[in-house]
Chains A and B, each alone.
Chain A
Amino acid sequence: MKRDYLLFILFALLVYAVPTFFKGGYLLNVLVFMGINTMLAVALNLLLGFAGQISLGHASFFGLGAYCSGILTATYGFNPWLTMVIAAAGVGLLAFGLGFPILKLKGHYLAMATLGFGIIVYIVLNETVALTGGPSGLSGIPNLKIGTLLFDGDLKNYYLIWTFALVTMLLSINLAHSRIGRALRAIHDSEVASRVMGVNARLLKVQIFSLSAVISAVAGGLYAHTMSFISPASFGFNFSVELVTMVVIGGLGSIFGSFLGAALLTILPELLRVVQDYDIVVYGLLLIVMTMYMPKGLAGGVAACWRLLRSKKVKAVENAQG
């Protein structure tokens, strides 16, 4: 437990130090999106890794958050901070209402239902042209602002978004170590057993589903205000699948794993640009190979490497002494 917090502090320091190494190159811009993806992956991990409930429609909460915030600011001139709160509350309520019937489902039925919800949201975003601008998107969304500080450059956005991402991570680490975290893991292992032990499994699942949706909606708001343009294509089925991939590749139930997964899937397409048209093939291949040979995800892989290194070091020391 202490180790997690220590790791977190080190990680936070590293995150805040990183921009000093990039002199405003485009990589900084990629890192901004990595922050948003980290938030989303951590949020989904709460549901997928801790409570063991799959969602193939999480991009829809991200999209609803982005559009709610985007429409209220760009069309109705609200304050961006206020709209982000409204968006988060609205999406949270929606998820709470939806959670009760949808989380009654299990396994692939749950996958299907969340997928269906995602597609419904995607279609509504596309079809309500008067409100959302339809497939050609919504532009003119203002940047966020604190006093006179306008978040309009990559560097400023980097600090803004990573602060949110770090808060999300800290919150999730806290949650994992709390009574709720233990109850969630119990549900993951056996829902019936946890009920017998007096855990209100149903309510808890719905609450964690809503929390996950709220974080995604906040990430959506941040995305809308940094991009200042959004279109439904960014919130479709493909992105939902990509989010699940981030969590699984990173390592189920590991907060830092979610970061690793998000980081890898954000950077990978950039690295694969070297192979040009072959990128999609390499990407698919990597997904397969990594899932096959790293069943515990990147987090598990890193931990294993660490142990291996340590045992070697111990051996080396022993050899030297012996």
Chain B
Amino acid sequence: MKRFVFSCSLFVLILTCSALCGASQPIKIGALFSVTGPPSFLGEPERNAAQMVADSINKSGGIKGRQVQLISYDTGGDATKAVQLANRLIKDDKVVAIIGPSTTGETMAVMPVVEKAGVPLISCAAGRKITEPVNRWVFKTAQNDNLAVAKIYEYLQKKKLNRVALLTVSDGFGSSGREQLKAQAATHGISVLYDETYGPKDTDMTAQLTKIRGTQAQALICWGTNPGPAVVARNAKQLGLKMPLFMSHGVSSKKFIELAGDAAEGVMLPSGKVIVADVLPDSDPQKKWLMAFVKEYQKLHKVEGDHFGGHAWDAMMLLKGALEKGDDLPATIAANLEKSRAFHGIGGSFTYTPVDHAGLAKDAFVLVEVKNRDWVLVK
């Protein structure tokens, strides 16, 4: 008899145990970032930020009691690898959603894969064509280029500067920006007098800038990511170029000021609010998260969190929000992501709808200027 009771209780114990374990199976989230390769300046902070969010969710008890498991792979900025790894995440790791990739090219390459498998993807790339036209499964957190371009053009319009020269980097980031800069010029009454590109690894732009100096342009807009724009700023100073110099949000981190040195003074650029978090008015709904993000990132990784990391942070938080609203079936997650309303993240205030998977308005950007080796808001 005793033995019977014992084995019965053992049986019950095992049952409860396995039931409990079943309930607390971790939620698997995939991540594709180019931690190495040319876009590593995007991928590394993105991976770090995503892991940071996953850890903090787990520390505070998980999502509805379940732990989050982030499975992240490095694409090296290569579209072929990104496709293979997306397949791996979906077929072998059986993730419920994917965040990343870091660049527009990789995202475009991965889109057919996630669409066929029916797994939601929150891209951290800026290209407008990722979400236009809207794909049921694909969302993005990085601000659209067109918003950044509009911010610069509106300022130029206000200052009555209507002739510009463009110098863009010949990679995905630059060509997407260039497309927007040309497309929006007419609507803002701006004429483009010079439109050229430079290679991502070029070390001298004096030839291009000399030619620009010879045109009637009143402002120079350079679209690229470090270190190219720093070279442009330095060479412009060397040549004594008088026109104001605008950069893209691709260089909105302290790194640009460090690289360009004195030449950075007076450079203006549109940026997410994260680099000016400390001077934002307290009424700004984003301020709370921004300060927390910058501080926590600094604590873990010794450098200030930038808005690239912010893209992944936003993606994880939006995903968390969607998971809290329902079960963890990919289709439910995608449907619930579309119900995200006024989430005040790092990149801006997100509101996804079935017709808008980018979710941001123009107020996601502020125009900043370099003064005394720091960023200040341009009023």
Query: A residues bordering B, Cβ < 8 Å?
Result: 24-27, 29-30, 33, 126-127, 129, 134-137, 139, 152, 154, 227-231, 233-234, 269-270, 273, 276-277, 280
Contact = CB atoms under 8 A, between A and B. Distances in A.
Given A126-B170, A136-B104, A231-B79, A25 B73 contact: no
A199 to B, nearest CB: 40
A98 B129 CA distance: 37
B109 A227 contact: yes
Given A135-B171, A137-B172, A154-B87, A25 B92 contact: yes
B58 interface: no
B172 A26 contact: no
Given A26-B87, A234-B78, 18 more contacts: A26-B88, A26-B91, A29-B91, A129-B179, A134-B170, A135-B172, A135-B174, A137-B79, A139-B109, A229-B83, A229-B112, A231-B172, A233-B77, A234-B79, A234-B80, A273-B73, A277-B35, A280-B36
Interface string B19-43: 0000000000000000110000000
25 contacts: A25-B91, A25-B92, A26-B87, A29-B83, A30-B84, A127-B170, A127-B197, A135-B171, A135-B174, A136-B104, A136-B176, A137-B108, A137-B172, A139-B108, A139-B109, A227-B79, A227-B80, A227-B83, A229-B79, A229-B111, A231-B79, A231-B172, A233-B78, A270-B84, A280-B36
A154 B74 CA distance: 22
A104 B105 CA distance: 38
A249 B205 CA distance: 40
Nearest to A230: B79
Q: Is the interface of A mostly helix, strand, loop or mixed?
A: helix
Central interface residue in B91, B116, B127, by most chain A CB within 10 Å: B91
Interface residues of B, number: 34
A134, A139, A277 pick with most chain B CB within 10 angstroms: A134
B87 A229 contact: no
Interface string B168-198: 0011101110010000000000000000010
A129 B112 contact: no
Contacts of A135: 105, 170-172, 174-175
Given A129-B175, A136-B176, A231 B91 contact: no
Contacts of A154: 87
Nearest to A280: B36
Nearest to B38: A233
A135 B199 CA distance: 11
Contacts of B74: 273, 276
Top 6 closest A-B pairs, CB basis?
A26-B88, A229-B109, A26-B87, A134-B175, A136-B172, A29-B87
A73 B279 CA distance: 52
Contacts of B84: 26, 29-30, 33, 270
A159 B31 CA distance: 30
Given A135-B105, A273-B73, A233 B79 contact: yes
Interface in B41-64: none
Given A26-B87, A136-B172, A273-B73, A233 B105 contact: yes
Interface string B145-180: 000000000000000000000000011101110010
Given A228-B112, A229-B112, A269-B81, A136 B175 contact: yes
Interface string B102-145: 00110011011000100000000001010000000000000000
Contacts of B36: 277, 280
A136 B108 contact: yes
A162 B375 CA distance: 56
The residue among A24, A33, A231, A276 with the most chain B CB atoms within 10 A of its own CB is A231
B78 to A, nearest CB: 7
Contacts of A276: 74
Nearest to B171: A135
A135 B79 CA distance: 12
Contacts of B105: 135-137, 231, 233
A276 B79 CA distance: 19
A230 B77 CA distance: 13
A24 B91 contact: yes
A38 B112 CA distance: 25
A286 to B, nearest CB: 17
Contacts of B80: 33, 227, 234
Contacts of A27: 92
Give the most central of A129, A135, A228, A270: most B CB within 10 Å. A135
B337 to A, nearest CB: 22
A321 to B, nearest CB: 50
A234 B83 CA distance: 12
A280 B37 CA distance: 11
A227 B80 CA distance: 8
Contacts of A234: 78-80
Nearest to B103: A136
A129 B181 CA distance: 15
Nearest to A22: B91
Contacts of A269: 81
A234 B179 CA distance: 22
Contacts of B85: 26
